[in-house]
């Protein structure tokens, strides 16, 4: 199996840099606005995109993403809108869907994976799906050649890191700290330690998320990780802008600034 996401990480490794991965929930600030903002991200230098499936009980998401998801849900965003966003953005960058398990189960695992591939998706990030409950997901995602991306945290034991990474493909999502997503003044020192532990159990690319929001933070993470994930910082720009056009342009500018510092020393 080789997806556009797999090919991206091969390319950025050959370029001796980390990949920049941007996140937005589908339907935020509107359906059309989300596609415009994601397109601007890619034009600004984002290498791959995470499209959030808005959910009413987002246990991993901080207040910025929760507010964006609430806006998206009020806009009527559901599976159809998520897939439409995926279809538009996968044409310009490797794209994955980040979703809690309940929407997949309601959609139907086979139907979800079939439609994901039909709309150009490379994989799925499932932050609340445990390895113990993954038998069906592993079998089905293998049959649909879909990257299966799990989230690990600094508290994850060495034995469990091995089990999780054995079931993962595409990249490992390393949460930089115990907590929820959001912009922070610094990236937790536990992020580098977690990546170091992961290197001992897997050769998969490792991308760090939760808390990366500034070019300096992205540059720091790029020295030890294969990918830098930014979400809340992009969302905040859209939330604080007086017009969609202004927000989209600020998103493009932030992507440009973040992408400049991802080369390895």
d(CA 63, CA 111): 31
Dihedral of alpha carbons 231, 237, 240, 244, sign: negative
CB count within 10 Å of CB 196 equals 11
The two beta strands, 151-152 and 172-175, are parallel
Residue 61 annotated as catalytic: yes
Burial of 1 (0-12, 13-18, 19+ CB in 10 A): exposed
Taking the C-alpha atoms of residue 48 and residue 121, their distance in angstroms, rounded to an integer, is: 11
Catalytic residue among 61, 115, 220, 226: 61
Q: What Rg, from alpha-carbon coordinates, does the chain have? A: 17
8 A C-beta contact, residue 191 and residue 208: yes
Burial (CB < 10 A; 0-12, 13-18, 19+), residue 27, is buried
**Is 26:12 a contact under the CB 8 Å cutoff?**
no
Active site residue 50: yes
**End-to-end Cα separation, the chain, in angstroms:** 31
Q: Say which of 6, 50, 81, 226 is annotated catalytic.
A: 50
Residue 89: partners with Cβ closer than 8 Å, 6 or more residues away: 35, 38, 39, 42, 49, 51, 95
Q: CA 56 to CA 60: how far, in whole Å?
A: 12
Active site positions, annotated:
50, 61
């Amino acid at each position: 199996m080789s997806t556009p996401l797999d090919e991206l990480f091969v390319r950025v490794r050959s370029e001796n840099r980390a990949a920049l991965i941007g996140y937005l929930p589908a339907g935020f600030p509107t359906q059309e606005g989300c596609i415009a903002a994601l397109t601007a991200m890619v034009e600004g230098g984002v290498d791959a995109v995470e499209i959030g499936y808005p959910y009413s009980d987002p246990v991993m998401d901080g207040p910025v993403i929760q507010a964006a998801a609430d806006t998206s849900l009020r806009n009527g965003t559901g599976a159809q809108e998520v897939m439409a966003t995926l279809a538009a953005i996968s044409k310009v960058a490797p794209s994955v869907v980040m979703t809690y398990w309940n929407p997949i189960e309601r959609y139907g695992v086979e139907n979800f994976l079939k439609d994901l591939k039909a709309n150009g998706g490379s994989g799925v990030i499932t932050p609340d799906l445990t390895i113990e409950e993954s038998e069906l997901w592993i079998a089905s995602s293998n049959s649909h050649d879909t990257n299966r991306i799990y989230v690990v945290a600094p508290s994850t034991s060495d034995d469990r890191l091995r089990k999780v990474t054995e079931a993962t493909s595409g990249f490992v999502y390393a949460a930089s700290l115990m907590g929820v997503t959001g912009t922070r003044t610094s990236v937790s020192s536990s992020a580098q330690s977690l990546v170091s532990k992961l290197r001992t159990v897997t050769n998969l690319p490792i991308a760090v998320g939760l808390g990366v929001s500034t070019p300096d933070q992205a540059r720091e993470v790029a020295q030890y990780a294969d990918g830098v994930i930014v979400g809340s910082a992009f969302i905040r720009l859209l939330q604080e802008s007086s017009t969609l056009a202004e927000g989209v342009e600020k998103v493009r500018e932030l992507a440009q600034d973040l992408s400049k510092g991802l080369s390895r020393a």
